[in-house]
Amino acid sequence: MQKDQERFADLTLLKASEQRYPTRPEEAHLESFRNLYADRDYIIEFDCPEYTSLCPVTGQPDFGHLTIRYIPDQNCIESKSLKLFLYSFRNHATFHEEAVNKVLDAVVAACSPRAAEVVGIFRPRGGIAIHVTARYGEKF
């Protein structure tokens, strides 16, 4: 039990009984925990079908489906902190291409994975759907 307490000591959002919703990505913080299986390659995938942000030109809402896949090294992303991070885009004005790359950058900064990929499939606007893929590392 003591060993788990040490392992999870840095996870502040999962333990919080209150919901601290960040209003923009710069306020959000991705947390990570120690990977017990760092000696092997395996893939973690987060499926986020309810991504929303705002068009930076019109201010209208944009809707998308993000898939985040990564091969962890020493640390893994904690999912509640990811949920709050993605929520922070809800009232944030950004282009789809920027959002996908910003999510990838945050994942890489939070857990230094061996490889990572973020795929954004965005709902059509004006008859055009946009799909964006950003990658880090060589394993994908």
Summarize pLDDT for 42-75 with one digit per residue, the tens: 999 999 999 999 999 999 999 999 999 999 999 9
Report yes or no: 56 and 93 within 8 Å, Cβ to Cβ: yes
Q: Quick one: tokens of 19?
A: 């919901």
CATH code assigned at 100: 3.30.1130.10
pLDDT in tens, 3-44: 666 777 777 666 655 567 888 899 998 999 999 999 999 999
Catalytically active residues are 55, 62
pLDDT given for residue 14 in this prediction: 65
| Domain hosting residue 73, numbered range | 2-136
Phi, then psi, of 125 in degrees rounded to 5? -135, 125
Residue 2 has pLDDT above 90, yes or no: no
Q: How many domains does the chain have?
A: 1
* pTM attached to this predicted model: 0.87
- Extended beta strands in the chain, E state: 32-34, 44-54, 61-71, 75-77, 115-125, 128-136
The token pair that represents 102 in the structure block:
């910003």
Contact 113, 95 (CB under 8 A): no
Q: CA gyration radius for the chain?
A: 16
